[in-house]
Chain A
Amino acid sequence: QKEVEQNSGPLSVPEGAIASLNCTYSDRVSQSFFWYRQYSGKSPELIMSIYSNGDKEDGRFTAQLNKASQYVSLLIRDSQPSDSATYLCAVNSNDYKLSFGAGTTVTVRA
């Protein structure tokens, strides 16, 4: 079983819609959870971090965490063409190890 699993996609949404990305993790002691955005041919950039159960909102992005279900999600509201990218879920269970999912590619149709 992979440590971090994401819905493989690709995910295509119309401009203005909500894109919903899901991630599950296997290590129950994980403490920190991150979403990275990666444009094609570029390096990952951090867009959200979440540490406690519930929702965390930052602009058009909302991260949701449910530790009991070992589940993290990212919602992108009012999706824009500039949101077209691969989104990587990452989970940190100790100081050095950040485990990544395979990523979900999102395409926003104008």
Chain B
Amino acid sequence: NAGVTQTPKFQVLKTGQSMTLQCAQDMNHNSMYWYRQDPGMGLRLIYYSASEGTTDKGEVPNGYNVSRLNKREFSLRLESAAPSQTSVYFCASSELGRWTEAFFGQGTRLTVV
């Protein structure tokens, strides 16, 4: 009964390095989301995937790319990390629009130095 699993939980990158944040859900949800959370800003949507095979930009997509690998997995890639991308990243899944049934992963705390 894992729900939404994110890896890694913590990461420190140097400016310019790349990395991929992994997210997997076992609830058979069609829709998956990536958010970032910064102090005083709430959660902001980076990208979402309404269903397998589709991805769309959210509020703050610049500097990120995503891949919906299959129905279970949705990854977030930072091609060239910048200090402004220091944040806590949350993956979530739901059926599209059914936010009462949305589940969040444990979060990835990323620091870019």
> Which A residues are closer than 8 A to B by beta carbons?
4, 8, 32, 34, 41-46, 49, 88, 90, 92, 94-98, 100-103
Contact = CB atoms under 8 A, between A and B. Distances in A.
B105 to A, nearest CB: 6
Contact of A96 (B44, B48, B90): B48
A41 B40 CA distance: 15
Interface of B: 31, 33, 40-45, 48, 50, 56, 58, 90, 96-97, 99-100, 102, 104-107
30 contacts: A4-B42, A8-B40, A34-B99, A41-B107, A43-B90, A43-B104, A43-B105, A44-B43, A44-B90, A46-B99, A88-B42, A92-B97, A94-B97, A95-B96, A96-B33, A96-B48, A96-B50, A96-B96, A97-B45, A97-B58, A98-B45, A98-B102, A100-B42, A100-B43, A100-B44, A101-B42, A102-B40, A102-B41, A102-B42, A103-B42
Most buried by A among B42, B44, B48, B100: B42
B43 A88 contact: yes
A97 B33 CA distance: 10
Contacts of B58: 96-97
B50 A95 contact: yes
Contact of B97 (A45, A88, A95): A95
Nearest to A95: B97
Contacts of B45: 96-98
A92 B98 CA distance: 10
Contacts of B99: 32, 34, 46, 49, 90, 92, 98
Contacts of A45: 104
A72 B31 CA distance: 26
